[in-house]
């Protein structure tokens, strides 16, 4: 069935258009969401929610190679989802800020709600 009457509510359209972030922000949002779209990266983020960890410990916890974990941590760092600090020769990783944990909470709430 095809709508015979096209009604555009211009005021509503204008308001919504103004509320949508610009293309640059949309692209950045898309890249950030891609970072969350990998099971290995999600496991790393969930582990780091518990406490600061080194690559070796993370690899054992998520049952992955150290090389794989390092690669994924690099991607997470580029998206400002994790940060690191050095203690001698050991590098420890943690979530970049509380926003990352909040995002993970909202996703879990949504899954539980659905």
Question: Is residue 1 a part of any domain in this protein?
Answer: no
pLDDT at 2 over 80: no
What is the model's pTM?
0.87
CB 59 within 8 Å of CB 41: no
CB 76 within 8 Å of CB 44: yes
Domain carrying residue 67: 15-113
Question: Is residue 35 a part of any domain in this protein?
Answer: yes
Least confident of 9-13, 22-26, 46-50, 86-90: 9-13
Q: How many domains does the chain have?
A: 1
Q: How confident is the model at residue 114 (pLDDT cuts 50, 70, 90)?
A: confident
Q: How confident is the model at residue 1 (pLDDT cuts 50, 70, 90)?
A: low
β-sheet bridge partners, residue 82: 95
Q: How confident is the model at residue 3 (pLDDT cuts 50, 70, 90)?
A: low
Question: Is residue 3 a part of any domain in this protein?
Answer: no
CB 72 within 8 Å of CB 92: no
Q: Which residue has the tokens 């949504």?
A: 110
Question: Is residue 10 a part of any domain in this protein?
Answer: no
Question: Is residue 31 a part of any domain in this protein?
Answer: yes
Average pLDDT on 12-36 reads 96
Provide the pLDDT for residue 8: 86
* Domain CATH code at residue 78: 1.10.10.10
CA-closest candidate to residue 96, choices 35, 38, 52, 39? 52
Question: Is residue 80 a part of any domain in this protein?
Answer: yes
Question: Is residue 2 a part of any domain in this protein?
Answer: no
Structure tokens at 62: 């998520």
Question: Is residue 64 a part of any domain in this protein?
Answer: yes
């Amino acid at each position: 069935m095809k709508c015979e009457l096209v009604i555009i509510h211009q005021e509503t359209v204008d308001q919504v258009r103004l509320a949508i972030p610009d293309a640059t922000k949309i692209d950045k949002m898309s890249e950030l969401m891609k970072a969350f779209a990998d099971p290995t990266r999600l496991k790393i983020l969930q582990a780091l929610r518990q406490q600061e960890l080194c690559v070796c410990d993370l690899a054992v916890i998520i049952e992955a190679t150290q090389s794989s974990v390092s690669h994924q941590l690099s991607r997470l760092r580029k998206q400002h989802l994790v940060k690191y600090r050095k203690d001698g020769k050991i590098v420890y990783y943690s979530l970049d800020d509380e926003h990352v944990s909040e995002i993970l909470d909202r996703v879990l709430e949504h899954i539980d709600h659905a």
